[in-house]
């Protein structure tokens, strides 16, 4: 009986986490470059439980059967399908059309990856994300430069002094053998894990990497209709597990009442 409590409680916890993931997706519906996530619920491996079964000679012999132990959250997987590109006309905004991620350096030295191309300059003129992560390559815009822009091939250019436009650096994109193996750390950032496989780096538009769309940003890829369906499914599963707990509680109450009689 207590195992039924444990199994139903595991279902409640797993579905609650699934609701949290779905709710987070809906909250980020308008977050630039956000990638929706999916909660994968898996069953807990059963253990061998002993039952009394009829023996051949009419007695009872003990047999072993596998009994499920409920469910747990196996993982939260990011869906890396591209969102719709939205034109902004801003020189440092860039969207990626196709495969690829921008590599950035975090304050602790760790390398992360993002498709949120709303770039800006920090106090030292370095190209950074809106959260302050340094764009890989260390591109710096000299003081007094004008009309800084990112070209479709990844070149960062600007008008310096009274001369013609100059190339200040080159943006590169990175893709992985298994992008589903990337782990989300918040702030529209992903980090590589062993499951992501080998990384391939190159200029935009080469070696199967996507091209850049200057003056545009990639919208969130969250599908509201799909998320609402997931929310309703998780809510229904939560209610069913809650009913299972209530049923076991009623059965135990009946057993206690019988004992008092």
Domain positions in the chain: 2-54+61-78+223-260, 85-218
For residues 134 and 1, what is the distance between their CA atoms, to the nearest angstrom? 56
pTM (two decimals) = 0.76
Question: Over its length of 261 residues, how does the chain's per-residue pLDDT go in tens digits?
Answer: 567 778 888 888 999 999 999 999 999 999 998 989 999 888 887 764 444 445 444 444 444 456 677 888 888 888 888 899 999 999 899 999 989 999 999 988 899 999 999 999 998 999 999 888 999 888 999 988 888 999 999 999 999 877 788 999 999 999 999 988 888 888 889 999 998 999 999 999 888 899 999 999 999 999 999 999 999 999 999 999 889 888 887 887 877 777 666
For residues 21 and 222, what is the distance between their CA atoms, to the nearest angstrom? 12
Spatial contact of 167 and 140, defined as CB atoms under 8 Å apart = no
For residues 77 and 35, what is the distance between their CA atoms, to the nearest angstrom? 10
For residues 93 and 216, what is the distance between their CA atoms, to the nearest angstrom? 6
């Amino acid at each position: 009986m207590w195992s039924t409590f444990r199994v139903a409680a595991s279902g409640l916890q797993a579905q609650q986490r699934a609701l949290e993931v779905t709710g987070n997706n809906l909250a980020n519906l308008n977050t630039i470059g956000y990638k929706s996530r999916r909660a994968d619920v898996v069953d807990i491996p059963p253990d061998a439980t002993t039952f009394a079964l009829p023996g051949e000679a009419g007695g009872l012999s003990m047999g072993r059967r596998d009994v499920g132990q409920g469910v747990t959250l196996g993982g939260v997987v990011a869906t890396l399908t591209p969102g719709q590109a939205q034109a902004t006309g801003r020189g440092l905004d860039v969207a990626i059309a196709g495969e690829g991620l921008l590599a950035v350096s975090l304050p602790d030295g760790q390398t992360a990856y993002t498709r949120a191309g709303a770039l800006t300059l920090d106090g030292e003129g370095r190209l950074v994300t809106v959260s302050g992560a340094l764009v890989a390559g260390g591109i710096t815009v000299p003081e007094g430069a004008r009309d800084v822009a990112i070209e479709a091939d990844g070149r960062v250019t600007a008008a310096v002094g009274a001369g013609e436009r100059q190339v200040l650096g080159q943006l590169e994109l990175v893709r992985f053998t298994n992008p589903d193996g990337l782990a989300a750390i918040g702030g529209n950032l992903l980090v590589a894990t062993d499951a992501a496989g080998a990384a391939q780096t190159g200029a935009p538009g080469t070696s199967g990497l996507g091209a850049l769309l200057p003056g545009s940003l990639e919208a969130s890829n969250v599908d509201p209709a799909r998320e609402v369906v997931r929310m309703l499914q998780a809510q229904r599963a939560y209610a069913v597990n809650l009913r299972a707990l209530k049923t076991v509680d009623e059965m135990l109450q009946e057993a206690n009442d019988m004992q008092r009689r």
